[in-house]
Amino acid sequence: MKNIGLLLDELLSAARSDPAVKAQLLATREQKDPLAAFCSTASSLGYPMDPGELIAAGEEYSCNQLKSTNGGGVTPYAYFDDLYDNFFTALSFSF
């Protein structure tokens, strides 16, 4: 199984260091299906992923947080972590 979090970290680093990559990724937000466009662009840049993997990685992260709670999480989250939105939030805070 791919480590989507690691791929996103590497892609974020590439986007922060290369304005052309950053512009390509930001342009995906304007597409009819932004998530699919993002995954297609990321894959073409050497960071292969698809929308299902990206969504599943966020859900798995949130589920693991519940399992790590002492005694288990009593109340499940109403949502799961959105790695796609988190990526763009992190990109907007480029250092």
Q: Give the Cα separation of 34 and 57 in Å (integer).
A: 18
Who has greater pLDDT, 94 or 28?
28
Query: Quick one: DSSP state of residue 13?
Result: H
pLDDT tens by residue, 2-24:
799 899 999 999 999 999 999 99
- State the burial class of residue 1 (Cβ atoms within 10 Å of its Cβ: 0-12, 13-18, 19+): exposed
Alpha-carbon Rg for the chain in angstroms:
15
Q: What is the pLDDT of residue 91?
A: 93
pLDDT tens by residue, 35-91:
999 999 999 999 999 998 988 877 766 666 666 666 666 666 665 568 888 899 999
pTM of the full structure: 0.79
Residue 33 has pLDDT above 90, yes or no: yes
